[in-house]
Amino acid sequence: MSRNVCITAVEGHTGFVITELLLTNDLFKKEIGSVVGLAIDPNAPHCKELADKGATIMPHKPGRVREVVSTLQNTKADTLCLIPPAHGSKADVTFELIEASKRAGIRNVCFLSAAGCDLAERSTQPRLREFIDLEAEFLKIKGDPNTNPLYSPAQEEGLLPIPIGYNHKFPPVALGDVAQLVAHVLTSKGKHGFSDQVRGQLIVLTGPTLVNGEELARIASKTLGTEMRFEDISENEARRVLRQQGDADDAEIQYILEYYSLVHQGKTNYLSTAAFHDITGNYPVEPPEFFNMYKEEFLPKRANKQRKIDGK
């Protein structure tokens, strides 16, 4: 039987990449009956692109659990990928979605959390620590026969001017690997919904290699064929960089900065890739391949800067 999948926060990068993979990859397309994307901002560019690829986009209006239950039921989904949105009230919105998914009786639920949240301090990394509260709430439904939770934390880093110091390492993971893992889970099948390989599992995913900032810059330089340097910047400088780079809101930026602070404290010096290989049959993307895959997101900006420097 084909899966009818609902994915939340599809206007964000993670939700978009997972949804796009389900819609375009032949391995997953054949297992999918329908894909519905929920979006707090259904007019966002990512939503239009997904609609053009075949997804049904529905507005997600947080505020009342009863209304969110109705929205989830209207999707006709039997499988939910629950991604906390990049929103100022992320925790409240996600608590509401967790409760609504239970009341809506959706059989299979995959919840994405954030690596390192268990190492965060509530006083210094409150945005990151929120994920612990969300995980605890989500895992309450683990014994419910209508739900089969998965928690797949991942961090997605690619900046070279980052406030992590010079000595501490972290394992950058490609967003495509997160999407691949989640897609395998969402399309897996077993007697109780998800396959027994992933049903009820706590799955941790990091990148396959520990690197510090200078090592990352050397890899980027070699792969891209242009010099890139690591710069250990202040948190305020990092905040400005993140604001200039895209459409992330203050809540999302704060989460990223708190992850960087974990790196600076030496709390991210670990790898977890075995589950990824066991589930997907592949290996996570190594840093050189990461920069090769996403080189268009690095080279154009640097080329533009060089042209301005040369006066051309």
> How do residues 133-182 score in pLDDT, each as one tens digit?
777 777 666 544 443 334 333 223 333 677 888 888 989 888 899 999 99
The pLDDT confidence band at residue 201, using thresholds 50, 70 and 90, is confident
pLDDT for 154 equals 26
pLDDT for 126 equals 66
Distance CA 112, CA 204 (A): 10
What residues contact residue 249 under an 8 Å CB cut-off, 6+ apart?
Answer: 86, 87, 88
pLDDT for 115 equals 62
Q: Which two tokens stand for residue 226?
A: 């242009």
pLDDT for 141 equals 61
The pLDDT confidence band at residue 5, using thresholds 50, 70 and 90, is very high
pLDDT for 116 equals 62
Mean pLDDT value of segment 187-214: 90
CA distances from 170 to 5, 123, 239, 257, 275 (A): 33, 22, 19, 14, 18
pLDDT for 149 equals 35
pLDDT for 218 equals 92
Phi-psi region at 63: left, alpha or beta (left = phi > 0; alpha = psi -120 to 50):
left
Distance CA 111, CA 113 (A): 6
Give pLDDT tens digits for 51-86: 999 999 999 999 899 999 999 999 999 999 999 887
Percent of the chain with pLDDT over 90: 43
Mean pLDDT value of segment 198-208: 89
Q: Which CATH number fits domain 3-156+173-187: 3.40.50.720, 3.40.50.11810, 3.30.160.60, 1.10.260.40?
A: 3.40.50.720
Judge whether 204 and 152 are in contact, CB under 8 Å: yes
Decide which of 311 and 210 is more confident. 210
Mean pLDDT value of segment 213-240: 87
Give pLDDT tens digits for 241-289: 888 776 666 777 877 888 888 888 888 888 899 999 999 999 999 999 9
Distance CA 244, CA 233 (A): 15
pLDDT for 142 equals 53
pLDDT for 298 equals 65
List residues bridging with 142 in a β-sheet.
none
pLDDT for 118 equals 64
pLDDT for 259 equals 84
The Cβ-side half-sphere exposure at 196, using a 13 Å CA radius, reads: 1
User: Mean pLDDT across the chain, nearest whole number?
Assistant: 82
pLDDT for 144 equals 47
Residue 103 three-state SS: helix
